[in-house]
Amino acid sequence: MTTPVETGSRPTGRAALVTGASGFLGANLTRRLIADGWRVHVLLRSPSPWRLAGLAGRYTPHAADLCDAVAVRSAVAAAAPDVVFHAAALGALPDHKDSAAIIEANALGTARLLEAVADSPETVVVHTGSSSEVGHSDEPITEQSPLRPRSAYAVSKAAASLMCQAEFLRGRPVCTVRVFSAYGPWDDRGRLLTYLLGCVARGEGPKVTSGSAPRDWVFVGDVIDLMLRVAADPRKAGPLVQAAGGRPQSVRDMVEAVLAVAAGGRLTAEYGTAPPRPDEPRHWSADVTETRARTGWAPRHSLAAGVEATWEWFRTQHSLEEVVRV
């Protein structure tokens, strides 16, 4: 099926290289680029990425580890991209605990990629950053908020974003899209939304925390809209933009949206029956005023609309049984 994430606009004919194409954001981006008529090249370590099922022959795969300078240079030379979308990352999930591997993949991998495009000064690089780079903040997070990373993953992503900023300051068309609480089709099986949808599919009330933890939810299709705007005019976008809903929300907001949209109110969440995630901030939201002014972007999906689109994708997948077992 075609989701709102994949809906194409006019064909572009441009060439894109996507890193992290087997991941949540990268796969959604790859599907969108194909729908929009891009010539798509992807860096892959897995030969059969499940998120790209049904797309064989519509993208050109390149086997490369981002930390392998020779392999990355070879892939970039073969793809000759107009735009590099750098969505590869390691360590965002709780079970990733190897700090050295995380820093190597995210910081060194980004350095290798930037080196590989250095001889092509007009090649646009759209780098996917993380809101975790900022750490905790009692105020809405802006593009100027100081970085206070609190994990190896956050440190590595901050380093990658700063390298991209340095390239921008040297006149290169490089921009970081700082992503907040993204959700949508093809999300990881261990993430909140996928767990909730699995509960609905099984007719079970989800067991969750108190639900008070703050989030700034943003539908993945809206994140991709922003990435494409940045790719079209990176110098106007500047070194950093923010992909977020732009208002304080919570885990409970997501739980209740899923139960209303997907379960029709037939199920009730069991709040307080799951342990809270460690090191949750007290507040968590983004100010997207500057991003909107520089790019014209605003999220198109309310939380309910984004959940509805994700539920439609979830329940029509051929691999539904596999996804439900979360």
Cβ count within 10 A of residue 82:
18
Distance of CA 11 to the CA centre of its chain: 23
How would you class 268 by CB atoms within 10 Å of its CB: exposed for 0-12, middle for 13-18, buried for 19 or more?
Answer: exposed
CA atoms within 13 A on the CB side of 67: 11
User: Does the structural domain 15-180+220-245+285-300 have CATH classification 3.40.50.150?
Assistant: no
- Cβ-proximal residues to 202 (8 Å cutoff; 6+ apart), any chain: 324
Tokens describing residue 226: 């922003």
Residue 64: is its pLDDT beyond 60?
A: yes
**Lowest mean pLDDT across 10-24, 177-191, 219-233:** 10-24
Q: How far apart are CA 20 and CA 90, in angstroms?
A: 9
Residues 215-272: tens digit of each pLDDT = 999 999 999 999 999 999 999 999 999 999 999 999 999 999 999 999 999 999 999 9
Q: What is the pTM of this model?
A: 0.94
- So what's the pLDDT on residue 110? 99
CB contact set of 301 (below 8 Å; sequence gap of 6+): 4, 219, 221, 222, 309
